[in-house]
Every structure is written in C-alpha cells, then in structure tokens.
Amino acid sequence: MTNPSTLRDRALAFRALHVPGRPLVLPNAWDTASARIVEDAGAAAVATTSAGLAWALGAADGDRLERDRAVAAVAAVASAVRVPVSADIESGYAQDPEGVAETVRAVLAAGAVGVNIEDALYDGAEPLRPVAEQAERIAAARTTADAEGVPLFVNARIDTFLRGAGGVDLTLERAAAFLAAGADGIFVPGAVDPETVKLLADGVEGPLNVLVGPGALPVAELAGLGVARVSAGSSIAQAAHAVVRRAARELLGTGTYDALAGGIDYGELNALLGGTR
C-alpha cells in the first residue's frame, strides 16, 4: 500500500496537470509493460484504459469485469511507475453508491490518485444512468476520498455523444450536476469536431477531457480550443492487438513475418521491464 503522504502528494501533482490550453496527454496503458513504456516515453502521468485492462484479463468491456481483478491490475500499474496513476473504473464496479465507495477505497489502496466514473448503462432500456443516481455515485467517490485524506481527481465521464443520447446542451446539464456532486473534471468521449469541443470547453465549469484516436484533432488544436486533458482510451490497446492478429494471420497463412517489423528491441524492452519502481 502506498504511503498516505506520498499518495496525497501524487494526487496534488496529478490535479495540477489539468490546465485548459495546456492539456495533460494520456496514452492509456492496460498492464505493467504498457505503463512502463508510456512512462518511458515521457508521460507526466499514466491512466489505465478499462477496455484494454479488461481485454488483457480475458473479459469484455462494459461493466463485466470483477472489481478485485480490476483493482489488482491497477495496483500492478501503480507499482510499476513513478508518475501519478489514474484508474478507469467504468461505472465503479458496483451496483450502488456504497459499492462505488468500496471501489474508491480499494483503488486508493492500490496507489491510484484519479478515477474515471462513467454514466453509461449497458443492461437497461436507457443508454445513460439518471442524473440524480449518477450524482450520488460521484458524491460517494468524493466523500470516500476526502475521508481517506486524498484529493482524488474524480473525472466524470459523460457518454451522451458516445451513445447517441444527446448533444451539447444535455452534456452541459449533466456536467453541471456531476461537478456539483464532487467531480473535478468532465470527460466527453465522442465529441470530436472543433465547434462541439469549443462549446464544451467554454461551457463546462471545470477541466474538459476528450478522447482521441485516428482522425481526431491534433493535441495542439485541442489545446487551442481550451481542452485540459487528452486521452487515447482503448485505441493504443486496439492497435497493439491488431499487430497480434496481423502477425498471426501472416505467419499461419503465408509463413512470412513482415507484420513483426518495427518491434521494440528485445534488450531495450527487457531492460525497461527489469528494474523496479
């Protein structure tokens, strides 16, 4: 378990990285190796991708992974790097606010100083959790972290765009409610065009986080729009797994190895993973 004073220091350092116009850039990791590689590339912090983490553990994304397995993976990432770690905890790996509080306590014990909590619903008639219900879950996360003495950065993910449930106005309404409940930042995946991003950056009374991948605006342009945090989400994990598929199909099909070109040198990777943090 991370020393509480160290955890507070890391949380404060992580919080300070969220600056509109000078965004925190997060190439999301999903295991120890990817976390070390991201840190070595110069990242100021490491954030997990819930999808990539679930896939690495043999589960599907979307509230299907057990809390204990997810938290153990977060602990492995946090112990592997020196920089602050933020954990994507999906909907909180829990059915109710009390369960979200338990998850937050476990994540803090694992060494993470930030969390993403999403408002998507995967097993109901509605695409999003009701605002009041989601606000209670965020409040539970905030209260729990405060009680532990750690200024945990609670990033409220709003899936209006990702799930086709609404536009800018609805997103801003939900953002205001979640910030009032104790969220520190707002994450809106699926908002990609400059006009929308600008409206959100101007309308959200807190740091705005957007999701990027192939075809998205460059970081410099997002910075100019007032974005405070840029996340790759599951896209790096998807690209890594695509290499596995291409290489396997080529090897089993033509018996050639072109897909394996460009890999990290064995000695370099072995050295990177060989030390302790």
pLDDT tens readout for residues 180-202: 999 999 999 999 999 999 999 99
Please give the C-alpha separations between residue 194 and each of 17, 24, 186, 229, 246, in angstroms, as whole numbers. Answer: 23, 18, 17, 15, 34
Comparing CA positions, the residue from 197, 206, 222 lying closest to residue 174 is 206
Q: Which two tokens stand for residue 41?
A: 């590339």
Please state at what angle helix 131-147 crosses helix 97-110, rounded to 10 degrees. Answer: 40
Q: Are strands 185-187 and 208-211 parallel, antiparallel or unpaired?
A: parallel
Prediction pTM value? 0.95
Residue 120 CA to residue 62 CA, distance in Å, equals 9
Q: What is the CA radius of gyration of the chain?
A: 19
The mean pLDDT of the chain is 96
pLDDT band at 276 (very low <50, low <70, confident <90, very high): low
pLDDT > 80? residue 235: yes
- Check: CB of residue 8 under 8 Å from CB of residue 150: yes
| Average pLDDT for 239-264 | 98
Give the start-to-end residue ranges of the domains of the chain: 4-234
CATH class of this structure's domain 4-234: alpha beta
| Average pLDDT for 82-109 | 98
Q: Which two tokens stand for residue 272?
A: 């990177």
pLDDT per residue over 122-149, tens digit each? Answer: 887 899 999 999 999 999 999 999 999 9
- Check: CB of residue 61 under 8 Å from CB of residue 51: yes
Residue 258 is given by DSSP the state: G
Residue 173 CA to residue 204 CA, distance in Å, equals 9
Which residues are registered as beta bridge partners of 260?
Answer: none
CA angle, corner 146, sides to 181 and 185, nearest 5? 45
pLDDT in the model for residue 47:
98
Looking at residue 49, its amino acid is T
pLDDT > 70? residue 275: no
Burial of 177 (0-12, 13-18, 19+ CB in 10 A): middle
| Average pLDDT for 60-70 | 96
- Check: CB of residue 108 under 8 Å from CB of residue 150: yes
Residue 17 is given by DSSP the state: T
pLDDT in the model for residue 124:
76
CA angle, corner 90, sides to 183 and 92, nearest 5? 70
Residue that the structure tokens 């989400």 belong to: 233
pLDDT per residue over 145-168, tens digit each? Answer: 999 999 999 999 999 999 999 999
